[in-house]
Amino acid sequence: MDIEGIAAIVTGAASGLGNATARMLAAQGAKVAIFDMNEQTGQRAAAEIGGLFMPVNVADDASVAAGLDAAEQAHGTARILVNCAGIAPAAKTVGKENAPHPLDTFRKTIEVNLIGSFNMISKFSARVAAASEIEGERGVIVNTASVAAYDGQIGQAAYSASKGGVVGMTLPVARDLAQLKIRVMTIAPGIFLTPMLEAFPQNIQDALGAQVPHPSRLGKPAEYAQLVESIIRNPMLNGEVIRLDGAIRMAPR
């Protein structure tokens, strides 16, 4: 699918991987709507790319519907959806003083990362289903998982479960939406230089980057966005998860 002139939605695009993706899409001529909970940085990010910002909780039906309504009114029916919204709390299954993992933390992680992604997919797709075809397809969806879906570390039970769910639903959702000519792909990034890692001292960043076989550095958000662009433009990419990780396999800790 060509990107120029197409309406696109990127969740979690106030910063990090989502922000790099929103910037790439805007640079390629897309009309971009940013869905994020961080209103201050989201408004600024949208202004910088000439896009639209909507404060959206991806796990909430009414919030997603309102965001989609506003985006459609401003840009027309969106044909591209990139799901980058997510949280990554850390807690062991049994913590200090034999305390069990807080169930609310586990539940919220699943709700945002997995249910939120599916909520966006289903509501976005229902709208695209009525749109006309463009070069033999109606839409493209790119989800964000993580290498933690495959080799989650100590303290990542909730995060790994949520991202494993995103991996697991990729093929069946792609099969569900094939009749509507909507493609579904997932990217599983490794260690990327997101705002969380940018807050670490340089020596910690270097140590993390050294764990990557090649290239031995942290991934750049623009490299994630580059893969999103390739997925959108290549019509044979469908129903698959791509690890974007420099061949890293995470150690237990």
| Per-residue pLDDT tens over the stretch 93-116 | 999 999 999 999 999 999 999 999
Homologous superfamily of 7-244 in CATH?
A: NAD(P)-binding Rossmann-like Domain (3.40.50.720)
Confidence of residue 83 (pLDDT cuts 50, 70, 90): very high
Residue 198 pLDDT > 90: no
Residue 195 pLDDT > 90: no
**Residues taking part in catalysis:** 159
CB atoms within 10 A of CB 252: 7
Sorted by where each begins, the domain ranges of the chain are: 7-244
Is the entire prediction scored with pTM above 0.85? yes
pLDDT of residue 11: 98
Mean pLDDT on 215-239: 97
Residue 52 near residue 3, CB atoms below 8 Å: no
Confidence of residue 143 (pLDDT cuts 50, 70, 90): very high
When computed from its CA atoms, the radius of gyration of the chain, rounded to whole angstroms, is 18
